[in-house]
Chains A and B, each alone.
Chain A
């Protein structure tokens, strides 16, 4: 019997061929976010991601939420900012563990940064985590962090068009806080109209009017978050 000739097919030099990949680069963050979420749930921690434009009142909302809830929950806060720890120190004054996440020049937090920050926490003594995102109404929408709920803070001082101009971040929101409601009259901005815009875009978002300077409405934000 003749020996079987082993045929080996190799790509000839100069041969062109196609490789099908279907590799979604933006899924990397999603996978990390899911990892974070699983980790947080296993540790019995609920996480809330707070987004909004620069100066909308994210930090003051968190400060008021911390004051309201610190006797009922063991709270920690992640504070995302490009540089400085100014806001983180403001929050830490309320006696909660605060981790400043400095992104350098990146305009949003991502799941990887949150994963790194999670390693700095004393998890045993924790059941609620607030993550304050970098001030930005565009990019954070695309980058999930692994939180249970996402909040968007929009203030009346940003004018009447902010919601209609950024529909996609409001599609991400579970709760929307329309902040600085005490200034609505001076700004000639109707809170009702902003609320209507949010509900048109995202019927399932819960909308609350707040004054995060005085704390008015913050208990409704907590309720809307199921806290």
Chain B
């Protein structure tokens, strides 16, 4: 839903960094997109192509790594996937904030990010 505005920020962030290094061309942008952001990757790619036209980023390769949601339990130290519970009525696996290991309430520690990991540029 916010793919266009987020991608605008990505492009601006990369261009700012490229300017710092006086780069002539950006060849590659490496993103990490959390699955819990619900950003549509196809739409991000589409917006990236549209927004980089006419800039030194035009034609650059966009690599996107998806980051799974990760929870952490402060009670037993478990860190990993959500505990899913099957809803008996709708047969839908529901993600829960319960620790897989001990049942305490967990915190979400990954999966909500949209990070520019690295940029490959030509000076």
Contacts and interface: CB of A to CB of B under 8 A. Distances in A.
Interface of A: 11-28, 107, 138-139, 142, 161, 164, 167-168, 171, 193, 197, 200-204
Contacts of B119: 18-19, 21
B77 interface: no
Nearest to A27: B113
Contact of A25 (B6, B92, B122): B6
A13 B90 CA distance: 61
Contact of B117 (A21, A26, A193, A202): A21
A168 B17 contact: no
Contacts of A26: 6, 37, 112-114
Contacts of A200: 85, 87, 94, 96
B116 A23 contact: yes
B94 A14 contact: no
Given A13-B123, A26-B114, 10 more contacts: A14-B123, A15-B123, A18-B118, A20-B117, A21-B116, A24-B115, A25-B115, A26-B113, A164-B94, A193-B89
B79 interface: no
Interface centre among A20, A161, A171 (most CB of B within 10 A): A171
Interface residues of B, number: 36
Given A19-B119, A25-B114, A204 B89 contact: no
Contact of A204 (B95, B97, B116): B97
A23 B123 contact: no
A178 to B, nearest CB: 17
B115 A22 contact: yes
Question: A-side binding surface: helix, strand, loop or mixed?
Answer: mixed
A202 to B, nearest CB: 5
A204 B99 CA distance: 13
A107 B3 CA distance: 13
Given A16-B27, A18-B119, A26-B112, A138 B87 contact: no
Contacts of B115: 21-25
Contacts of B40: none
Given A16-B122, A142-B112, A201 B90 contact: no
A104 B95 CA distance: 33
A202 B112 CA distance: 18
